[in-house]
Structure 1
Amino acid sequence: MFGTYCRHMAVSVPRAWGHGRGVLDVARLHVRSYSGSSGGHYKVLVLGGGSGGIAMSARMKRKVGAENVAVVEPSESHYYQPIWTLVGAGAKTVRSSGRTTASVVPSGVKWIKSRVQEINPDKSTVRTDDGKEISYQYLIVALGLQLHYEKIKGLPEAFEHPKIGSNYSVKTVMKTWKALQDFKEGNAIFSFPNTPVKCAGAGQKIMYLSDAYFRKTGKRPKANVIYNTSLPVLFGVKKYADALWKLVKARDLNVNLRHNLIEVRPEKQEVVFEKLDSPGETVVYEYEMLHVTPPMGPPEVLKGNLLADPNGWLDVDKDNLQHKTYPNVFGIGDCTNLPTAKTAAAVAAQSSVLDRTISKVMKKEKPDKKYDGYTSCPLVTSYNTVILAEFDYDGQPLETFPVDQSKESRIMYHMKADVMPHLYWHGLLKGLWGGPGPYRKIMHLGMK
C-alpha cells in the first residue's frame, strides 16, 4: 500500500494487441505439442520466487489450479527486504525479515529448486542449471535484479573490514548496524550509484536514521554526515525532494549531487568518488562509517535474450505488462523496463493489473486494465517518522491519504515498521493485495 516496500526507464508505445503476432499465433500457443520435455510442462511457469513471483504464483493457482503452476527459484530463503533499512539501524532483527521459500510457495504449486539458465521464447521452454528443460504455455518473468558490488573497486572484499556495511544484502546489513554502534567521530558517508536501483530511497533513509542514532547517543557533534549521490536531485519527485532538502538543512547533513562511488580503500579508511559532471575528476574522503548502495543491473539470464531490451531488462508493455513481442510472456517487478521506481509497492499494484491481463489473454481477449506506474517509497527520516512518497509514471504524487504526505508522520512510521510487513506476508504473497488503488478512491471520496 502505502508502499512500505521499497525496491528506469524506457517508455514504450503500446502496439495493437498481439504486438506483431496475430490471434492465430496466440491460438497456436494453446495447441502446441509439448512431448519430450524432461522438466515437465506447465500451463503457467513463473521464474523467480521473490515478491512478484510468489504473488503471481498464488494468483495463477486460483486461476488455473495449483497442479498447473510451477515456480523456479534456487534460494531456500525468502526475505522481506524493505525492513532491512530498520535492521541496519538496529530497530528490527534480520530474523524477522526472513522465511523459508517452502513456506511462501503456495500449497500445491510446484517449486522447482533450480536457477534459470536459459529462456527460449520461440520454443516456449526454459532450461535450468541442472539441465532440465521445462515447457510452458504462459511464462511470467519475475527474476528481480542483480547487485554488483564488484563494480566498485575494493568490493566486496572490503566488507571483511569493520566500519562498512550495506542494507541491500542480508550478508552485510548487520555490518551497517555494527558500524553505526562503533562510530566515534569523523565522516559517516552514504552512497548512491549511477545505475537503476531497487528502493531508490534506501540509500538516504539510513543516513537519516544514522543521524538520529548519533543524536540519541550524544555522538552527533563529532559526526560529519555526508550523502553522495550520482543523481542530479535528492529525490526524483519534486514535492518530496523539497521536503527532504528542508530536513537536510535543518539537521546539518551534507549532500553532494553527481558524486559516484568508484573505489573503497578499507586499509586507509578511504573512499573515492568520481564527479560525474567533471569527467576524470575524483575526490577522496576518509570515513569512520560507510554505507554502500551498490550498482545494480538486470538478471544475467536476460542479457542478450530475445525477451530483453537493449539494456537487458525484460521488454514489456508499460500499460498491461505483456511482453511486446511474445504474447504468452509477461513480466513483473524489478527485472522489467517499466519506467517507474523498483519497489515492492510497485509489485503489488502490478500484480493486480497482470492478473487481469493474463485472464484476458487466456480468453483470447484484449487486455483492458492499465497500470499507472504506481510506486511508493516510505522515506524513513528518524526512528519514529516517515515521509510517505507515492507517485505514478509521470513522477506525480499519487497519495493514498487525504493529508500532505510530504510531512513527517509518526503514523506512517508505524505503518512502515509494523503494518506493512504483515500485509506483505499475508496479503501480497497470498495474491490478495493489489495495492491501495481502491482505498485511495474511498479516502479521496472518489476524486482520485
Structure 2
Amino acid sequence: MSMSRLISVNSKRYFSKTSKLHDTHSCKLLIVGGGAGGCTVAAKLANNFKKHEIIVVEPAEYNYYQPLFTLIGGGTKTISDARKPMGQVLPKNVTWVQDAVREFSPKENCVSTGCGHTIKYDFMLIATGLQLNYDKIPGLLDALKQKDSGVCSNYSELYVEKTFESLKRFKKGNAIFTLPNTPLKCPGAPQKAAYIADAFFRKNNKRNNARVIYNTSLPVIFGVKKYADALWKVVEGRDIDVNLRTNLVSIEPGKNVATFENLEKPGETHAVNYEMLNVTPPMCTPNDLRKCRELVNDAGFVDVNKDTMQSTKFDNVFAIGDCASSPNSKTCAAVASQSTVIAANMTAVMSGNKPEAIYNGYASCPLVTGYDKCILAEFDYNLTPMETFPFNQARELRSMYIMKRDIMPTVYWLMLRGYWGGPATMRKFMRLGFA
C-alpha cells in the first residue's frame, strides 16, 4: 500500500484500519513513541523533511503533560488541564500511525506493529518512555479499582484523580506514600504527593489525626545533597516520617494492610495499616523493546552514548527520554535538553557527519512542598546543581511554585512544537555568562 492511501479523521493521520494486514511502508525517519520526546524531536526536524517522510508510531489518543499530575492529585488542576489530542501536538506534515511497535529489527531497519504493518526506515528515534507495572504488586490493581479503598496513584491518568478523592475522604490514621525499587520517571514525584497531603490535612484540620509516612526504596531522600539537605528540614519541620530502603511488596485492600520489605535485610518484612496509600508503581521499559537484545542493555534500556544519545550499536538509531540508558534523572526537563542535542546529531548523521552535540545530563525537578511552595532542583550527570536563577534554589519559594503551576505547562506545549530546548540560554542570560 502506498503512503497516498492514508486516511484522515478528525485531523488525525493514521494508516487505514480497513487495509489488509502485513502491508509494508517506508519512511526516512521513524519515531517510536509520541510522548514528550517523540513529539518534540518530530517538531524540530519536520521542516527538514517532505510530507510523509516522518512516521510517528503512537497508540495513545492523547498526549499528557505528566508533571501536572502532582497538582491534579492535590486538587488544584484537572486531568483536562494536562492533555491535548495527539493529532493537535504532532506536526502537520508528520504521519501518525495510531498503533504500537511489537517487534524491532534494527539489522533490517524495520519494525512490525500490533496491526501487522511493517515499517522500514532510514533512521529511527526510540521514545517509548517507561511502562507502569501496577500488576507487579499483589492486590494493587484490585485496590485501585475500588472507589473508596483509600489506594491511589499519581502516575496514571486512570488513577490520579483518586488521590484528591482519598485526601477528602481521609479521617484519621496512616497516609503512606511509596517509591518502588525499580527505575522510575520523576523520582521526586512520590514525595511531592506526601508534602501536598500534609498541606491539605493542615488546611482542613485533619493533621492531628494523620500520620504522614514516606517509604522510599532509595538510600537517600534525594540524589543531590544540596536539595536533600533542604528536604530533610522540610520533613522534620512537618513531622513527616521518612523510611529509607523500604519497598512496598503487597496490599490487602479488604483489610487496609500494606506489606513492606526492608531492602537492607532481604526477607525481612513488616505490615502497616493505612487509611490512605499513594503508590508509585514499579516501572521498566516496554516489554516489546526489552526483548530486542540488539538494541538494549542488560537493564532493558536502549544502549546509547550518554553524550550524543546515539545508539552504541546502530549509527542510524537514537533514543530520548526515559527509555534511554543515559544515567540522568528521568524528567521532562531532561527530555527538553536532550531534544536539542538529538535534533542536531541526527541532522549531522543524516548528512554523513559525526554527531558532535553533547548532552550534559541536565535534569530538573520542581519539588512542590505545599500549595504555595516549591524547591526547584536542577542538576547534571554528576549531581552538581545547575541552577538557572541567580539565587539559591534550595529554598521553598512561592515564585517557583507559580512557575510550576502556571508557566511550565505552557512551556511544555511550546516544547512539543519545537520552541523550547531547555533553559541553557536563559541560564547564561540570568547569570550574565557566569557559572
Regarding TM over 0.5, the answer is: yes
CA shift for structure 1 position 67: 2.6
Amino acid at match of 2:342: L
**SS of aligned partner of 2:270:** strand
Amino acid at match of 1:80: Y
The answer to whether structure 1 residue 429 and structure 2 residue 406 are counterparts is no
CA shift for structure 1 position 367: 1.3
CA shift for structure 1 position 56: 1.0
Q: Name which of 88, 100, 120 aligns with 1:115.
A: 100
1:46-445 pair list within 5 angstroms: 46-161=31-146, 162-305=149-292, 306-425=294-413, 427-445=414-432
What is the RMSD computed on CA atoms of the aligned residues? 0.9
Amino acid at match of 2:350: M
Q: Distance in 1 between matches of 2:407 and 2:384?
A: 25
Q: Distance in 1 between matches of 2:204 and 2:228?
A: 28
Q: Deviations over 1:44-69 (max 9, x none)?
A: 11000100010111112122234311
Q: Distance in 2 between matches of 1:65 and 1:357?
A: 19
Q: Distance in 1 between matches of 2:98 and 2:52?
A: 16
CA shift for structure 1 position 368: 1.3
Q: Distance in 1 between matches of 2:115 and 2:45?
A: 25
Q: Distance in 2 between matches of 1:365 and 1:75?
A: 35
CA shift for structure 1 position 160: 2.1
Q: Distance in 2 between matches of 1:63 and 1:441?
A: 29
Amino acid at match of 1:420: M
Structure 1 segments, 4+ long, off by >3 Å, are: none
Amino acid at match of 1:405: Q
CA shift for structure 1 position 75: 1.0
**SS of aligned partner of 2:88:** helix
Q: TM-score, normalised by structure 2?
A: 0.93
Q: Deviations over 1:186-216 (max 9, x none)?
A: 1000011001100101100010000000000
Question: Structure 2 stretches of 5 or more lacking a match?
Answer: 1-21
Q: Distance in 2 between matches of 1:367 and 1:184?
A: 57
Amino acid at match of 2:263: L
**SS of aligned partner of 1:156:** helix
CA shift for structure 1 position 299: 1.1
Q: Distance in 2 between matches of 1:155 and 1:166?
A: 10
**SS of aligned partner of 2:24:** coil
**SS of aligned partner of 1:67:** coil
Q: Distance in 1 between matches of 2:281 and 2:118?
A: 33
Contact 2:142/2:253 (CA < 8 Å) preserved in 1? Answer: no
**SS of aligned partner of 1:283:** strand
Q: Deviations over 1:156-188 (max 9, x none)?
A: 111123211000001110111111000001100
Q: Tell me which of the two structures has the higher relative contact order, counting C-alpha pairs closer than 8 angstroms and 6 or more residues apart.
A: 1
Q: TM-score, normalised by structure 1?
A: 0.91
Q: Distance in 1 between matches of 2:161 and 2:419?
A: 32
Amino acid at match of 1:278: K
Amino acid at match of 2:134: Y
Q: Distance in 2 between matches of 1:65 and 1:228?
A: 51
Contact 1:304/1:310 (CA < 8 Å) preserved in 2? Answer: no
1:33 corresponds to: none
Question: Structure 1 stretches of 5 or more lacking a match?
Answer: 1-36
Amino acid at match of 2:52: E
Q: Distance in 2 between matches of 1:89 and 1:220?
A: 15
Amino acid at match of 2:136: K
Contact 1:44/1:60 (CA < 8 Å) preserved in 2? Answer: no
Q: Distance in 1 between matches of 2:336 and 2:239?
A: 36
Q: Distance in 1 between matches of 2:104 and 2:161?
A: 36
The answer to whether structure 1 residue 42 and structure 2 residue 30 are counterparts is no
Q: Distance in 1 between matches of 2:348 and 2:244?
A: 45
Q: Distance in 2 between matches of 1:297 and 1:362?
A: 30
Q: Distance in 2 between matches of 1:151 and 1:184?
A: 29
CA shift for structure 1 position 138: 0.5
Contact 1:270/1:285 (CA < 8 Å) preserved in 2? Answer: yes
Q: Distance in 2 between matches of 1:66 and 1:384?
A: 45
Q: Deviations over 1:71-101 (max 9, x none)?
A: 0001111111110100001010111111111
Identify which range, 233-242 or 360-369, moves more after superposition. 360-369
**SS of aligned partner of 2:52:** helix
Amino acid at match of 1:91: T
CA shift for structure 1 position 148: 0.7
Contact 1:194/1:260 (CA < 8 Å) preserved in 2? Answer: yes
